[in-house]
Chain A
Amino acid sequence: MKASSDRHLGPKLQFLIFALWTVFLVFTVRLFYLQILQGGYYHTLSENNYTRSVVLRSPRGKLLDRNGKIVCRNRISFSLVYDTDRGVSIGDTLAAIKRILGVTMTRAQVEEALHRSAVPHVAVLARDVPVSWLQKVEAHQIELKGLHMEMELRRNYPYGDLASHAIGYVGLLSPDEAKDMRLKDVDPFIEVGKTGVEKTANRLLMGTSGRRISQVNSLGREVDDPRLRLPGVGVVREPVPGRNIQLTIDMTLQTILEKAFGNETGSAIFMNPNTGQILAWVSLPNFDPNVISNTMTPAQWHKIADDPRHPLLDRPIQGAYPPGSTFKPFVALVGLEEGAINEKTTFFCPGYWKFGGHVFHCWKRGGHGAVNILTAIQNSCNVFFYHVGDLVGIDALAKWGRIFGLGQKTGVDLPGELSGILPSPEWKKSRGLGPWYPGETLPIAIGQGYLTVTPLQLLSFYATLATGGRRYQPLLIDRPPRLLSSVDISPRDLDIVKEGLWQVVNKAGTGTACRIPGLDVCAKTGTAQVVKASAGVNTYDLKKDERDHAWFAGFAPRKDPSVVFVVMVEHGGHGGNICAPIAKAGLEYLFYGKLPEGMTPEGKPKKEGGAESIPPQLQAGFSSGPGQSAPDDTRERKP
């Protein structure tokens, strides 16, 4: 101390030193707490700050028809995405969307989208949004921090509604599907096939998605400056693109057939019996997979789902109908194989047959007189087949039915196939319907009664006839043929039935409308009763939805058949009138390359629906595909 006046400074300086190092101690303890005790925790937080795990989606494979025409491809689309992990509340996000994008959304919509997402914290708010949003969202990234735009590849079906049931449609992966499929790298944009080949071949089409760890800055922007690259950042797993799938369908044939149906409801299948390759798959009415896969609104969905004609029903495998007279060749074959009849067996048809106190009618009031197997097939005489059915009995019919695959799924590459009903005493008993009465066998023998088949099952039977016993699995995807079974049929019996079928078309039979000069078409018409009382009534006098179902099934040519077909029109009346011309159009194209009038050789695909054609409403983005969480959209219930 130099001056006495400063003596008071002594204790003050001591205190100052004490205060300084107290502050130092407090800071050091705090640093020790944050860096040493809590260091690991904060280290994890900092890592979560700058890395994002990004799913690398694999592009979905294309679908091609048998001639390489593109049936389904991908297009670029932009979606608006909300990520709750970025810490912006739903309320703030909705306000920002309204202010910057000028679109009003409700909280319920966002919550619904979150609920539906395969990734719980990411919601796809709108898909196929205008490209102009891209700049807006980028420019306002600070205000729209919870939102970002995502580029995705979406399905485009250039042929529109053609072959829609075979092709199917896609929808966003649902949380349940993600679990079932045990997918590794899932993001909310992964689309999966919901029906058709899109579903059957889904795993092949999807490929495998990959994963990349990306490095982001505080704005959530990706850091791509290599100097700033941190360890552990980069591609963890490369995506494997989905495979292109070639279908066996011929889109030109498909076009011809769908046109030939006009406005009728029904199905048609054309197939190569020697390989099982399906050439055409008609199910009408159809739907546009572009709409269902992409921009469908709840209203559009209800329009499709509530349509009384059920456009989503895949009729060739999901419609089970009585086959009517198209079943008679089967009964004839069973009768021949069982030795109950031969080509000389004759029955007399007075127009009915009294059996067990009941009168069973023939479709021809006056009767056919004396009929043998050929005239019975040619004129579709019921009485002849009542006799055959009675002679062989239900057990033999059921046994042979099983051999030909009736009452069983064919195993075609499509989801949701029905097996139809092949009745037998055991079947009846198991259904609790009591014992089998012999009188119940007679309707079965003319393709009525308990019997129902899917059009594809009937096709499979005719295909087996055509190949002389080889039964192939029907295929929509181009792959090696698969023989299901070989049925042992005597060539002699086969020839008799084939002769009958040839006469149906080429003699004065019921199917002359399908006669094609130079081509030996073998086929059988069918008219299956829908309403019990309609027997003996002219079907065209009935109301449209009570009219008989019309069938036409057969193959061509007679020697070494290469095409087998079934055409079925619901409530169409007589198969010979309505179905035979449809089959004829298809056969003329297949064998002579003949196109119906007004059709150019290139079945022209419809225009691609791009992002421009998207309605501006945000709601349009919610594509509630039927395979997803059902169209019970909350918005619909609100007044």
Chain B
Amino acid sequence: MRNALRNFLLYGDHLAILLYLGLLVTGNIMIRSATFGTKYAPLASRQMIWTGLAVGLFFLAVLIPYEIWLEYSYFIYIASIASLLAVLVIGHAVAGSRSWLYIGPLGFQPSEFAKVAAALASAAYIKGLPDKNVGVREMLVLAAIIGLPAALTFLQPDFGTATTFLPLGAAAFYFSKMPLTRILKWMGAGTVLLLVLFAIGWFTFFKPYQKERVLTFLNPSLDPRGAGYQVNQARIAVGSGELTGEGLYSGTQNRLNFLPAPHTDFIFGVVAEETGFLGSVAVLLAFFGLLSRFVVTIRDARDAEGRFLVLAALAVILYHVIINVGMVIGLLPTTGIPLPFLSYGGSFLMSMSLFVGLAVNVRTRRFAQ
């Protein structure tokens, strides 16, 4: 353990940690502003407790050598699958989907931890491969490891969270021995396939509210008071921030409840309204700076499983950032995907912190032993 601490202090990714902690602080301030004077006000203090726990988990993820994490990964994976199954049976329903599991007064979302578990299990699987090379056969195994918790999440039903397993699959694909050009071709083909699936889904299993969201994303003025309302109000919140913002606690869109779900899905709208263009770009810089550090870590990592682990973390966080920020600034349709480190939510904050912790862990131990 002393060795681990020494390693961390000497070789840990200090910039990444700084950016991570900066985002956590920003998130807490923004949640306080978003809930101030509303019935959600106590959530701001609760988020501080979550943050404390998350930072604790983060250091756990950093200090315990990742080979030990990988050693226990199958156990962790099985436990998370079990909790996902439990959720389907005894889960607590919120807004129509059973995604919460309660242990005493503490509720958590197993699907969030399942992402980390799936990433760890996949890395462990890669570690066990003779040449640590991912081919077609290995891809199928990885798809199964990742697909099982995704499918269970989908059954809750929580379509939005289920899609957050996609970046893990994408990471595995990107990690395979396939050259970049072919991957890009496959990605092109995959996009076409997605569009086809989307078209099929449109006429089969998409719920009316989901269709409406897509339609009003394409044209918010179709229904300015209904589904287009959120899109419009979010856009007003972002735009009215102008260069320097209205000031913390002073965003009218946020404070007067025009901005939907300001402390969760639309927290970036609060950032944009209250801190303006400068604040929003600063937050984006922190995110992309952190993710760039991950790329550097992948380059410098000492083994394949470490590389995959960081790539998985990068993919999951990037996915959340793109989908969430894209939604708030009106580039993507409305979905229920939160913004890492900023949106309110304990389980989500902890799973994202675990990912960052594991990435820093890999960097800390980048030198061959």
Contact = CB atoms under 8 A, between A and B. Distances in A.
B125 interface: no
A55 to B, nearest CB: 22
A40 B253 contact: no
A542 interface: no
Contacts of A88: 225
Interface string B32-55: 000001000000000000000000
A223 interface: yes
Interface stretch (B86-94, B142-150, B177-185): B177-185
B239 A9 contact: no
B330 interface: yes
B256 A215 contact: yes
Interface in A220-278: 223, 225, 227-228, 230
B292 interface: yes
Interface in A11-37: 11-13, 15-17, 20-21, 23-24, 26-28, 30-32, 34-36
Interface string A1-14: 11101101101110
Nearest to A223: B256
A338 B318 CA distance: 112
B126 to A, nearest CB: 11
Contact of B277 (A5, A17, A24, A32): A32
Contact of A8 (B179, B253, B325): B179
Contacts of A217: 256-258
B213 interface: no
A327 B253 CA distance: 78
Contact of A47 (B131, B239, B252, B276): B252
A28 B284 contact: yes
Interface residues of A, number: 50
Given A11-B180, A46-B253, A227-B37, A35 B238 contact: yes
A35 B243 contact: yes
Nearest to B253: A46
Nearest to A30: B329
Interface string A35-66: 11011111101110110000000000000000
A31 B277 contact: yes
B304 interface: yes
B240 A42 contact: yes
A218 to B, nearest CB: 4
A359 interface: no
Contacts of A40: 242
A42 to B, nearest CB: 3
Contacts of A15: 180
Contacts of B168: none
A46 B322 contact: no
Interface centre among A12, A27, A38, A87 (most CB of B within 10 A): A27
A216 interface: yes
Interface in B262-315: 272-273, 276-277, 280-281, 284-285, 288, 291-292, 295, 298-299, 301-304, 307, 314
B280 A31 contact: yes
Contacts of A36: 242-243, 277
B261 to A, nearest CB: 12
Given A5-B132, A27-B326, A36-B277, 16 more contacts: A5-B131, A11-B180, A16-B295, A21-B288, A27-B284, A27-B331, A31-B272, A31-B280, A34-B235, A34-B239, A39-B277, A46-B252, A50-B256, A217-B257, A228-B255, A228-B256
Sorted from nearest, which 5 A-B pairs have the closest CB atoms?
Answer: A42-B239, A39-B242, A46-B240, A35-B277, A218-B257
19 contacts: A3-B304, A5-B133, A6-B132, A6-B307, A9-B299, A20-B288, A20-B295, A21-B292, A31-B280, A31-B281, A34-B272, A34-B329, A35-B242, A43-B239, A46-B258, A46-B273, A49-B236, A49-B258, A50-B258
